[in-house]
């Protein structure tokens, strides 16, 4: 049960914002912020008002049912109305609890996605490339912007590693469930006897951190420069344009060599490092708040096997929610991706509600 005081505060807040916004006296800088807050409350305020009136309405209907002078027809109608009222109250309570859940400040941010080939040799690198193509297609369908940060190709034409920045609305809230080990079961092109092989790739999704989110002291950084070369820096430079940035307190290190400019490589490297440090700090805080974090959906645990893509059976299975879609090709084309994400999101909300 939600405390009545909490619901009343929510209703009063909505009423005060309505008055403030219609007064025409709000500072321009605050207007957008208050408008957004009012819009968010607008979606839930009717549920809040009905929730507050529930006990009164329930009492009136129960009074009719207890009155021995009430005729049968009226009793039947009152009973139906009470049943509907109870069902609506449960629905209102669920919506209000979801609304009152602590918001993840990172949900609205852009995301940096890192895909790496795991166990399985060249086949794993081909699968990493397939996953990257899938996220490219999803981005295109959703009209998100995908900006390549770095890429390292394998001999077979696959990807050893790829890092990209995806920009748009609420990117991290959608993609955060993708962090973990993705497993593939299929017959590789190099397999002559038709045997199914199992390979894996890891995906890490980090909220893009701005300078205002995280202050990094220059004295905490060690920056080494060297010449580009090999996979990821195919054209060997004659100048020291490649950059390796090490954050000394944590030991986190980022290398960047895709650009010919040392300055651009440093900027890209700092973008990745800032986001990794930001996520490290978020994880530390989450760990302090919740001892059962490992069991939660969307924790970003990169060592957890989260999904299997089974080509012979044409299915994709998410092990966290035991959901199987027999639409593997459609999933890889980004066509039924939302179906999976919605199920994961609902399960994550259920976990949070149970804790509440």
200-217 pLDDT, tens digit per residue, is 999 999 999 887 778 888
241-262 pLDDT, tens digit per residue, is 889 999 999 999 999 888 888 8
| Four-residue CA torsion sign, 324, 353, 87, 13 | negative
Q: How confident is the model at residue 231, as a pLDDT?
A: 45
108-131 pLDDT, tens digit per residue, is 899 999 999 998 889 999 999 999
Q: What is the CATH number of domain 218-288?
A: 3.30.160.20
How many Cα atoms are found within 13 Å in the side-chain-facing hemisphere of 98? 16
Query: Per mean pLDDT, which range of 43-57, 221-235, 263-277 is the poorest?
Result: 221-235
Please report, for the chain, the start and end positions of each structural domain, with discontinuous segments joined by +: 4-100, 111-209+295-355, 218-288
Strand locations in the chain, DSSP E? 111-117, 145-153, 159-167, 180-186, 197-207, 221-226, 242-247, 252-256, 305-310, 315-318, 323-325
Q: What is the CATH number of domain 111-209+295-355?
A: 3.30.70.1660
């Amino acid at each position: 049960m939600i405390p009545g005081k909490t619901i009343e505060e929510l209703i009063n807040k909505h009423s005060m914002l309505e008055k403030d916004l219609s007064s025409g006296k709000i500072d321009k800088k605050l207007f957008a912020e208050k408008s957004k807050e009012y819009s968010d409350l607008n979606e839930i305020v009717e549920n809040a008002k009905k929730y507050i009136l529930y006990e009164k309405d329930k009492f009136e209907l129960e009074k009719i049912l207890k009155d021995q002078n009430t005729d049968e027809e009226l009793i039947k109608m009152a009973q139906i109305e009470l049943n509907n009222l109870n069902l609506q109250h449960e629905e209102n309570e669920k919506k209000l609890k979801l609304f009152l859940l602590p918001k993840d400040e990172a949900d609205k941010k852009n995301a940096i996605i890192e895909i790496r080939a795991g166990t399985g040799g060249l086949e794993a690198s081909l699968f990493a490339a397939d996953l990257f193509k899938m996220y490219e297609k999803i981005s295109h369908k959703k009209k998100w912007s995908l900006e390549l940060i770095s890429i390292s190709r394998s001999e077979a034409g696959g990807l050893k590693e790829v890092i990209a920045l995806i920009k748009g609305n609420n990117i991290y809230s959608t993609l955060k469930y993708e962090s973990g080990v993705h497993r593939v079961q299929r017959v590789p092109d190099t397999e002559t006897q038709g045997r199914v092989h199992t390979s894996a790739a890891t995906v890490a999704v980090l909220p893009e951190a701005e300078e205002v989110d995280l202050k990094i002291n220059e004295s905490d950084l060690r920056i080494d420069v060297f010449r580009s070369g090999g996979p990821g820096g195919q054209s060997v430079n004659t100048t020291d344009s490649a950059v390796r940035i090490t954050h000394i307190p944590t030991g986190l290190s980022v290398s960047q060599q895709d650009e010919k400019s040392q300055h651009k490589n440093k900027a890209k490297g700092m973008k990745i490092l800032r986001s990794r440090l930001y996520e490290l700090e978020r994880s530390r805080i989450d760990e302090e708040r919740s001892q059962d974090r490992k069991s939660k959906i969307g924790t970003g645990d990169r060592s957890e096997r989260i999904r299997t893509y089974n080509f012979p059976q044409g299915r994709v299975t998410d092990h966290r929610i035991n959901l199987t879609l027999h639409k593997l090709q459609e999933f890889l084309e980004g066509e039924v991706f939302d179906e999976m994400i919605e199920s994961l999101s609902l399960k994550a909300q259920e976990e949070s509600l149970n804790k509440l």
